[in-house]
Amino acid sequence: MTPELFFIYDSHCPWSYASTALVNEIEKSYPEMVIHLWHCAHYDGDDCAGHTHVDSVSKQSGVKFGKEYMRFADSPKNAIITANLMTWLQNKQPEKALAVLNALQTAHFIEGNPLTCKHDFSHIIEQFKLSPPNKIFKEELSNEAQYTLSDINEIQEVMGTTDFPALLLTEGDKAVLLDHSLYLQKPQTIVLAVKEELA
């Protein structure tokens, strides 16, 4: 059985940003693993993580936040278009999805790019030679993104939590929820946890 990893995240969530480093380490060590990146579209323009939240992430992980992002840390965030793009990418070109997510998070959390209109994505679309349809850039969830939310709801029932970010490792009938908070300081240590679970 090929192991699979389900990463439930929001591109504009600081904890998800820190947890992406864990997914990167797993992908490096297990290139054959099928990785599902499921954007939960939590940030819809109504709220934000805020400075206090971001400070906690900084202290508990190795990730950095840029000055431009910090200037607007208390402003509402909207991840709808990113959710549409990442869902389209996961369906059409999954082999590029993790690299694109890393680039999007760098643009948002380091460069302060809000990622709220088509222009905000132009550099990354060009860099990765993507050709998403225009419907991706509407400020409402695409049908595909809504289907992903349904999938997330189903898997959250299995996990017994709606918390995110979440890392669910599966192999055949076996499923285990990896506690991302244990590995944020040293992302490479999650590889040992995965090895033990797959043994």
DSSP letter string, 17-40: HHHHHHHHHHHHH-TTSEEEEEE-
Q: Is 156 exposed, middle or buried (0-12, 13-18, 19+ CB in 10 A)?
A: middle
Residue 29 lies in a domain: no
- Res 62: pLDDT: 84
* Domain count along the chain: 2
- Res 48: pLDDT: 86
Q: What does R_g of the chain's alpha carbons equal in angstroms?
A: 16
* Amino acid occupying residue 186: K
- Stretches where the chain sits below pLDDT 70 are none
- Res 21: pLDDT: 97
Residue range of the domain that includes 81: 41-160
Whether residue 191 is found in the same domain as residue 139: no
Q: Diameter of the chain by CA atoms? A: 47
Q: Is residue 84 a contact partner of residue 145, using CB atoms and an 8 Å limit?
A: yes
- Res 45: pLDDT: 87
Instruction: Give the pTM.
Output: 0.95
Whether residue 105 is found in the same domain as residue 92: yes
Q: Tens digit of pLDDT for each residue in 40-73?
A: 999 998 888 889 989 999 999 989 999 999 999 9
